[in-house]
């Protein structure tokens, strides 16, 4: 077994407690993920003979990946061998739903017991971008013990299915998204007899759950945690209320203290931060948490930064040309996807890893990402077309891009977009071209993407309103302030304005 890392007394107490309901609250860089990984092994390798799994849970794929990597690094690769698992909570929802279907506790349209669960309806038959006030979207409802289709007013812009026929065709084919899974699980947890089935499933399969970043949990996630804890599953919750960022997933950080109190969790604060290596950073992080005014210095040389962060992707693209953002953001059409793949080629060349959403872009275009990668020279040749950074070069590049994707096997025919759409794509290509002339590029990403990570020097691109919030003093209950807080606390040595 690998040698144990030197944990502080606080960290060790939290990781090794015999308590069965454990709540670990910790500041940035104080070792939340370190303690989560440690506790996983402490419970996994304790002396009790128990064949049930230890389940490490987080809320996004990247956070799950980071937690799994830390567990393996600390305890060796066998630490996560079957039945032990590190999952996103959405995957746990799917697992529970399919258990209920297989056991015929509830039934799905068409009698399916295995489902294809998509991230989004986007690209599926009948799906369109619907925003608030655009009528009703279809949802999954549970009547008695059968899943049917129902409807609900659109309250948040997203790709939804509005017509009953299209929606039911998907359900009858055993196809849904995580949203429908959550709708059904929420209905299941509302019914005592079905809730008891879930409790039985959890206690028979799972000895302990360790939930990292618990302040990103939504109401349903917390209800599942409550059920697991009250059913006797050893439950550890770890997080920092200042770092709750998943509002779009319905995160309800304010409900966590209530759950902790009502269910009798024992609290273990972990206070020493190992991230901050300079007195300046210690002071900045302390002031931010205390709601005191913060003034950041602007850098005259952004290449001194190891990363540049911003709330929104657009804000990174309008910044210095030496900052290469890892994405343009959400992919709304096939041309967006094509340009994301071109950006991926540039990012691969510079940083040796993928652009964010590159695999999603390949999927939208019906391309095999690995085949695309092995044809990297083709994308490289389009970047060369773009290099002069003129409008003519951008037009030539986009024309070549559309033609080449067909050659690479994309079944999609990338049509010209309406004039305004084409102008956006031209501007994006020119923004890529401008970066190609830079000798030193710094990666740019959103604060959401930076969560859980750290760099020596962090640049932040802030607007007037954000600077005003920093000057006024941050408040934990304000979502935008928490985004700023996470951005500031990614730096080990220095955080500067870019
Ligand atoms: N006891 C320790 N001794 C030395 N270094 C430590 C110790 N505990 C954690 N670290 C280091 O501190 C850094 C932050 O740890 P970790 O990522 O676990 O913190 P975190 O609280 O999860 O961070 P975040 O607030 O970003 O989510 C890592 O580089 C980790 O290796």
Question: Which pLDDT band, with edges at 50, 70 and 90, does 1 fall under?
Answer: very low
Q: What is the mean pLDDT of the chain?
A: 92
- pLDDT of residue 81 exceeding 60: yes
ipTM computed for the complex: 0.96
Question: Please, which residues have CB within 8 angstroms of residue 447's CB and are 6 or more apart in sequence?
Answer: 245, 309, 310, 311, 483, 484, 486, 487
Distance in angstroms (rounded) separating the CA atoms of residues 14 and 202: 24
* pLDDT per position as a tens digit, 233-270: 999 999 999 999 988 788 999 999 999 999 999 999 99
Name the pLDDT band for 156 (thresholds 50, 70, 90): confident
For residue 74, the CA-to-ligand 1 centroid distance in Å is: 13
Are 206 and 43 in contact, with CB atoms under 8 Å apart?
no
Question: What tens digit of pLDDT does each residue of 30-46 get?
Answer: 999 999 999 999 999 98
- pTM passes above 0.80: yes
Mean pLDDT, range 165-178, rounded to an integer: 96
- Regarding the beta carbon of 7 and ligand 1, being less than 6 Å apart is answered yes
The answer to whether the CB of 278 falls within 8 A of the CB of 250 is no
Residue 340 reports pLDDT greater than 90: yes
Over range 127-131, report the average pLDDT.
Answer: 87
Residue 4: pLDDT over 80:
no
CA 24 / ligand 1 centre spacing (Å): 14
Query: Which pair of structure tokens corresponds to residue 148?
Result: 């049917």
Which two three-digit tokens encode residue 455?
């760099």
Q: Is the CB of 6 under 6 A from ligand 1?
A: yes
Which protein residue's CA is at the shortest distance from atom 15 of ligand 1? 31
- CA distances for 334 relative to 46, 402, 416, 443, angstroms: 51, 10, 10, 24
Q: Is 450 in the pocket of ligand 1 (CB under 6 A)?
A: no
Residue 239 Cβ inside 6 Å of ligand 1? The answer reads: no
Greatest Cα pair distance in the chain: 70
pLDDT digits (tens, 9 = 90+) for 82-96: 999 999 999 999 999
Any known ligand binding at 33? yes
């Amino acid at each position: 077994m690998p040698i144990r890392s030197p944990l502080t007394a606080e960290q060790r107490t939290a990781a090794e407690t015999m308590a069965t309901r454990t709540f670990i609250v910790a500041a940035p860089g104080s070792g939340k993920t370190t303690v989560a990984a440690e506790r996983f092994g402490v419970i996994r390798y304790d002396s009790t003979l128990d064949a049930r799994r230890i389940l490490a849970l987080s809320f996004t794929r990247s956070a799950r990946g980071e937690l799994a990597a830390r567990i393996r690094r600390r305890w060796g690769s066998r630490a996560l061998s079957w039945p032990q698992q590190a999952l996103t909570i959405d995957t746990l929802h799917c697992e529970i739903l399919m258990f209920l279907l297989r056991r015929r506790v509830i039934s799905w349209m068409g009698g399916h017991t295995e489902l294809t669960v998509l991230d989004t309806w986007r690209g599926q038959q009948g799906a369109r971008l619907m925003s608030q006030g655009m009528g009703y979207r279809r949802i999954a409802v549970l009547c008695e013990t059968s899943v049917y289709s129902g409807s609900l007013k659109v309250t948040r812009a997203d790709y939804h299915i509005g017509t009953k026929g299209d929606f039911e065709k998907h359900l009858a084919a055993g196809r849904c998204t995580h949203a429908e899974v959550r709708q059904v699980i929420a209905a299941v947890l509302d019914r005592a007899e079905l809730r008891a089935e879930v409790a039985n499933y959890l206690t028979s399969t799972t000895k302990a759950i360790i939930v990292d970043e618990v302040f990103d949990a939504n109401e349903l996630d917390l209800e599942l945690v409550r059920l697991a804890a009250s059913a006797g599953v050893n439950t550890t919750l770890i997080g920092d209320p200042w770092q709750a960022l998943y509002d779009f997933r319905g995160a309800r950080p304010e409900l966590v203290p209530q759950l902790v109190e009502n269910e009798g969790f024992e609290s273990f604060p972990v206070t020493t931060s190992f991230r901050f290596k300079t007195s300046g950073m210690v002071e900045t992080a302390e002031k931010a948490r205390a709601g005191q005014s913060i003034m950041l210095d602007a850098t005259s040389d952004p290449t001194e930064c190891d990363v540049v962060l911003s709330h929104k992707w657009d804000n990174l693209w309008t910044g210095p040309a030496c900052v290469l953002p890892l994405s343009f953001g959400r992919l709304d059409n096939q041309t967006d996807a094509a340009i994301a793949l071109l950006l991926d080629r540039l990012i691969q060349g510079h940083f040796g890893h993928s652009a964010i959403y590159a695999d999603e872009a390949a999927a939208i275009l019906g391309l095999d990402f690995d085949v695309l990668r092995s044809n990297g020279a083709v994308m490289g040749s389009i970047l060369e077309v773009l290099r002069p950074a003129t409008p003519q070069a951008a037009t030539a590049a986009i024309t070549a891009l559309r033609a080449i994707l067909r050659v690479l096997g994309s079944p999609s025919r990338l049509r010209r977009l309406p004039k305004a759409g084409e102008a956006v794509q031209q501007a994006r290509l020119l923004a890529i071209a401008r970066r190609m002339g830079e000798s030193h590029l710094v990666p740019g990403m959103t604060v959401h993407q930076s969560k859980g990570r750290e760099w020596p020097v962090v640049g932040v691109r802030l607007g007037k309103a954000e600077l005003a919030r920093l000057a006024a003093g941050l408040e934990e209950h304000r979502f935008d302030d928490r985004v700023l807080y996470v951005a500031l606390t990614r730096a080990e040595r220095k955080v500067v304005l870019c």
